[in-house]
Structure 1
């Protein structure tokens, strides 16, 4: 398949495909949806300012903790969590809903994507496939399989598969050697644009590395790379909670989980814990997801009190499956 997905895709931000007709959005009235879809620059700029302030506080925490390991490590971890949560504005900008102005969505999206080692345009199309084929075993590129063991669970949390995929994306984008899966969600018409963006990112990262080595500077390492890596398990845990353990069906009311996270996390994650709501109406900006939740919450089939509760249930299920699959004593192979 050479990027010609017109027969299968509903388009960026689409709600289904011919082979995976999603259901659930019909519960939202057209009038209500029209009201909620209103976009504005104000909420996005305010939320971005809050996130940038949190990043600045993280930098200060790391700076003043230097030389004191028992303070420095927690400071870098907290700062790293704020960095990885930049995934939220990247995600929102990819939908064009973070801001009313298209150019602000593109600039902010590209900037936060670059800071977290992701190519913005590539992500935009990959994420469109995730929305079109949510929880489809073969066609959802972001499906997270239910862990088969505790080792598998913790491997997913620390990113054993995530980091090779991220590095592989940059390498393949630089060389233009896209996989068959990537050719399914990347139209051939955008290959050159995607490759150009990734090559520019690669040049940027090489330049930063070269300058750091030349000046024997650890600034990029301490204030960017290490915190970015340290914070990733938190984002892996959040992303796992969005769909893992939910139905692998086209029913958006059951295949996506909403998590009633605390206000601070909702703030820094741009209301993405309201994830089922987002999948039901991806054209609704982040700042209106709380109102959408009030509208659809009686219909949602997968809602959790917190991320802690989600992962407690996942671990319990993993252990339960492990016990069920254990070979009885005396019957070993």
Structure 2
């Protein structure tokens, strides 16, 4: 292991040579990851569709399928960083389709997420801090239900589709039409899927998208709340973000997003290199925690401390 720079300059911890090595993007690894994710989705979704009534098999399949749909958000995240694939065009296309599956619009999210990285944990600037940050058990359960996400997506897509960008400083005026057209197309696909369900008088849209995504969202919320909640405010990337050590299936479906402190320190490092980056960087981080259950327990424990 090479000598580290002083943590007073966090983004110089890795040498230029180390960062160049870790920054290597790969279409092959991107496609392998995507095919693996889609295969899990296809198998679990197929079981959910064909094993109706055989609940010991159908219900676990629904949970896996729902989470594989919801965790397509991780693919959106990697693609808006343009790091999932070496090809710019592939990142844009896969990111948009992954957003369609998971309920996000990648054209909008790229601008939103850029500000989150620029102003991480800075109140009044980080757009993620506009979401409900639980301070009570009731807040926590509400967030975990996924309902705030659904409400936010309905409201957000309506704002984007109707060109209401006034409260979105992270979307530059030059991008308004691009974001709006992208949202129209996404809503059009959803509308077409609903129309097919109605024409054939089958609950396809509800059974194979809405219901599974509703099942998967609480699992995704349980994971995403660990990224920054309870970490220090301010712009120090060594303290404002948490890495959560977890099992391989979650790392697979989340595209290595659990290595979140590493990602925030060096956003240019692609998902498949984050485990290697973790070996180099973990000693420098304040928040490296073994498991999402432990993180969520610590978040809930703080509610009682705040009340006492």
Partners of 2:89 and 2:192 lie apart in 1 by: 26
Shift of 1:65: 2.4
The count of corresponding residues between Structure 1 and Structure 2 is 300
C-alpha RMSD over aligned residues: 1.5
Question: 2:96 corresponds to which residue?
Answer: 110
Find out whether 1:177 has 2:164 as its counterpart: yes
Give the match for residue 270 of structure 2. Answer: 285
- 1:272-329, CA deviations, whole angstroms, 9 ceiling, x for partnerless residues? 100000001111100110111111111010111000110011111112223x1xxxxx
**Structure 1 residues 21-60: aligned runs within 5 Å:** 24-60=10-46
Matched, 1:133 2:100: no
SS in 1 for 2:220: helix
Task: Quote the Cα distance in structure 1 between the aligned partners of 2:10 and 2:222.
Answer: 25
Determine the C-alpha separation between the residues in 1 that align with 2:160 and 2:273: 35
Runs of 4+ in 1 over 3 A off after TM superposition: 68-74
Partner of 2:150: 163
- What are structure 2's unaligned runs of at least 5 residues? 1-7
Unaligned runs of 5+ in 1: 1-21, 325-333
8 Å CA contact 2:68–2:253 kept in 1: the answer is yes
Cα separation, 2, equivalents of 1:306 and 1:242: 12
TM-score by length of 2: 0.93
SS in 2 for 1:243: coil
Shift of 1:73: 3.3
Q: Distance in 1 between matches of 2:190 and 2:13?
A: 46
Question: In the alignment, which residue of structure 2 is the partner of 1:73?
Answer: 59
Aligned residue for 2:34, secondary structure, equals helix
Residue 211 of structure 1 pairs with residue 196 of structure 2: yes
Between structure 1 and structure 2, the one with the greater Rg is 1
TM-score when scaled to structure 1?
Answer: 0.87
Q: Which residue is 1:313 aligned to?
A: 298
Contact 1:146 1:245 in 2 (8 A): no
Q: Residue 233 of structure 2: which of 248, 265, 283 is its match?
A: 248
Which residue is 1:260 aligned to?
A: 245
1:192 to 171, 177, 180: 177
1:330 corresponding residue in structure 2:
none
- Partner of 1:242, secondary structure, is coil
Cα separation, 2, equivalents of 1:287 and 1:228: 26
